[in-house]
Amino acid sequence: MFRTHTNGELTLQNLDQNVTLTGWVQTIRDKGFMIWIDLRDRYGITQLVFDADRSSAELLDNAKKLGREFVIQVNGKVIERQSKNPKIPTGEIEILVENLTILNESQLPPFTIEDETDGGEELRMKYRYLDIRRNPVKDKLIFRHKMAQKVRNYLSDNGFIEVETPVLIKSTPEGARDFVVPSRMNPGQFYALPQSPQTFKQLLMIGGMDRYFQIVKCFRDEDLRADRQPEFTQIDCEMAFVEQEDVLEIFEGMTATLLKDIAGNDFGKFPRMTFADAMKKYGNDKPDIRFGMEFVEVNELVKGKDFKIFDDSELVVGINVEGCADYTRKQIDELIDWVKRPQIGASGMVWIKYQNDGVVTSSVNKFYSEEDLQRVAAAFNAKPGDLILLMSGNENKVRTQLSALRMELGNRLGLRNPKEFAPLWVIDFPLLEWDEESGRYHAMHHPFTSPKPEDLELIHTEPGKVRANAYDLVLNGNEIGGGSVRIFDKDLQSRMFDLLGFTKEEAEAQFGFLMNAFRYGAPPHAGLAFGFDRLVAILDGNEVIRDYIAFPKNNSGRDVMIDAPSPIADLQLEELALNVDIKE
């Protein structure tokens, strides 16, 4: 071992001890006759001192040769500091250095290794190994590890077995695009990388494993959006002989354990909301319930007053922005412009102010009497000082637009405190959703999700109304997990494939082995998967996942540090029986 202690542990308790430390030179303060160095490692910072009075001339000379990020080993005595630093655990001591060894030199790094760095995103990614030396990045990776350990221990303690499912599997055209892997031993054939271990975990239930989990890499070849990664990590779980309630209970327990560890408080029973209610109250299937601003629908109060825009709208719906009646015209216009941006796509917005003087006024005074407006304000439980914003249009679209506005205002008004946690189960998702493009229904969760038995008879008459035993766990406005009770009856599964427009042949080719497995005593089962990258980020009070991934890819799916992907040798292509054929 090159050291006797780390840089995070020495205190006055260690006074006068002779210690050996290693690490990176963080900062150098050279006063000529005295040099102070902050020595950094994963565990902290320790101040080193070299001093013309107490150190040899040679040692002082050597210390003067050091540069930022040099790797050194020092030996010396723990002494009490003159000016203490109460902000760090080692702030009461320093090391009077007696021996200095340079273990490795360093070029000047391309950005500063500080909590607030001068390095831009791209530079930091290219030199990610230097970026990881920075506390904010390092701490996030350590936090991720701790969460993974807690998850594994919780699930293990609850009888779950972590089973590794294969990474080289079979491509299925369903869902997002697969990454594929050409097989040299089977020319012209390909493996696929799993988008999730879904079928394998169901096979494990059929195999009697009873309770399965895995923290596992999954892969999706999507056109990347910001904060989407081609490889991502799931906490994947499945249980046999259970109903929806059992799954919610176990994973509520798991999430509460993590939250308690972070936030310190007990979260009791997580609230639950149906999908229908979530859409109606928040316009969103993953509502952030840290703040109110619930939707109020006012069709009855505003229609038939000759305001054509509202009269022609399927839905008029609004939110009460409490205490914001004093917004200036300019502020409100800016909000209107915000909802009119193409990303939101609203055609306009109506405002009603409940002034502090008790007067209710609006941008549509021409059509509505103050009495009319009072009635609307009452529907919102508005008080003097509140601002009501109304939007209108197609039911689904206007909800989505108003939801975006609600979240934006939540951010602007500081209602989304990242250190406050509001978990929520959203349940009773629709089984199917209509896809305009293909003109048919798609599985909202996936084709193995069980319909609610009581809705089963609607399946051929009003398939859109069939609810599923499907559930999402939402935390602070983010879906962190989702799952469903699975179909375990081969006939029902077969009907489901019909409904989703699979031919018998397609269903057989893609899921034949699962359908076959259903013939040999499949138990009732249900499961859930968490997006681990996102879960960790949100638990840590962030919404950007990239810094919780050690070596992330950029938005073009590239690792700019190792420069991947890259061309491969002709011999490799030949062995794989492949030609590259780039069409211009």
Touching a second copy, residues 554-583 (CB under 8 A): 556-559, 561-569, 572, 575-583
Neighbours of 53 (CB within 10 A): 6
Tokens coding 72: 């050194």
Question: Contact between 492 and a second copy (CB under 8 A)?
Answer: no
Give the C-alpha separation, 338 to 395, whole Å.
Answer: 20
What is the per-residue binding string for a second copy in 507-546, x denoting contact by CB under 8 A? ------x---xxxxxxxx----------------------
Write the secondary structure of 463-499 as one string of H (helix), E (strand) and C (coil): HHHCEECEEEEEECCEEEEEEEEECCCHHHHHHHHHH
Give the C-alpha separation, 247 to 529, whole Å.
Answer: 11
DSSP element (H, E) containing 452:
none
Q: Which of 408, 508 has the CB closer to a second copy?
A: 508
Give the C-alpha separation, 161 to 237, whole Å.
Answer: 10
Cis peptide before 89 (omega within 30 of 0): no
Give the C-alpha separation, 546 to 533, whole Å.
Answer: 8
Pick from 480, 454, 474, 449: which is nearest to 465 by CA?
Answer: 454
| Subset of 82-121 contacting a second copy (CB under 8 A) | 103-107, 109
Question: Contact between 207 and a second copy (CB under 8 A)?
Answer: yes
What is the per-residue binding string for a second copy in 48-87, x denoting contact by CB under 8 A? ---------------------xxx----------------
Question: Contact between 550 and a second copy (CB under 8 A)?
Answer: yes
Give the C-alpha separation, 51 to 24, whole Å.
Answer: 20
Pick from 49, 130, 113, 52: which is nearest to 551 by CA?
Answer: 130
Tokens coding 143: 């936090």
Taking the CA of residue 334 as centre, how many other CA atoms within 13 Å lie in the half-sphere pointing to its CB?
Answer: 8
Q: Which of 284, 469 has the CB closer to a second copy?
A: 469
Indicate which single residue of 223, 300, 312, 333 sits in contact with a second copy (rule: CB under 8 A).
223
Please say whether the beta carbons of 218 and 115 come within 8 A.
no
What is the per-residue binding string for a second copy in 427-456, x denoting contact by CB under 8 A? ------------------------------
Per CB under 8 A, which region of 89-97, 196-204, 288-296, 377-385 contacts a second copy?
196-204
Per CB under 8 A, which region of 134-142, 353-361, 399-407, 473-481 contacts a second copy?
134-142
User: Minimum distance between the CB of residue 242 and a second copy, rounded to whole angstroms?
Assistant: 6
Q: Which of 179, 267 has the CB closer to a second copy?
A: 179
Question: Contact between 149 and a second copy (CB under 8 A)?
Answer: yes
Question: Contact between 122 and a second copy (CB under 8 A)?
Answer: no
Residue with tokens 């350590």: 142
Taking the CA of residue 414 as centre, how many other CA atoms within 13 Å lie in the half-sphere pointing to its CB?
Answer: 0
Give the C-alpha separation, 45 to 466, whole Å.
Answer: 59
Question: Contact between 200 and a second copy (CB under 8 A)?
Answer: yes
Q: Which of 138, 504 has the CB closer to a second copy?
A: 138
Question: Contact between 501 and a second copy (CB under 8 A)?
Answer: no
| Subset of 225-244 contacting a second copy (CB under 8 A) | 230-231, 233, 241-243
Tokens coding 384: 């003097």
Question: Contact between 163 and a second copy (CB under 8 A)?
Answer: yes
Indicate which single residue of 162, 300, 306, 420 sits in contact with a second copy (rule: CB under 8 A).
162
Sign for the CA dihedral angle at 102, 103, 107, 112 comes to negative
Q: Which of 163, 276 has the CB closer to a second copy?
A: 163
Question: Contact between 138 and a second copy (CB under 8 A)?
Answer: yes
CA angle at 206 for the pair 179 and 177, rounded to the nearest 5°: 15
Cβ partners under 8 Å of residue 403, min gap 6: 282, 283, 284, 287
User: Minimum distance between the CB of residue 206 and a second copy, rounded to whole angstroms?
Assistant: 5
Indicate which single residue of 221, 277, 311, 543 sits in contact with a second copy (rule: CB under 8 A).
221
User: Minimum distance between the CB of residue 69 and a second copy, rounded to whole angstroms?
Assistant: 4
Per CB under 8 A, which region of 54-62, 302-310, 318-326, 553-561 contacts a second copy?
553-561
Sign for the CA dihedral angle at 328, 330, 333, 338 comes to negative
User: Minimum distance between the CB of residue 87 and a second copy, rounded to whole angstroms?
Assistant: 20
Tokens coding 272: 């639950």
What is the per-residue binding string for a second copy in 251-290, x denoting contact by CB under 8 A? ----------------------------------------
- Number of residues located near a second copy, criterion CB under 8 A: 124
Please say whether the beta carbons of 137 and 131 come within 8 A.
yes
Q: Which of 145, 440 has the CB closer to a second copy?
A: 145
Per CB under 8 A, which region of 47-55, 316-324, 400-408, 550-558 contacts a second copy?
550-558
Give the C-alpha separation, 563 to 546, whole Å.
Answer: 18
Q: Which of 4, 411 has the CB closer to a second copy?
A: 4
Indicate which single residue of 19, 35, 40, 234 sits in contact with a second copy (rule: CB under 8 A).
40
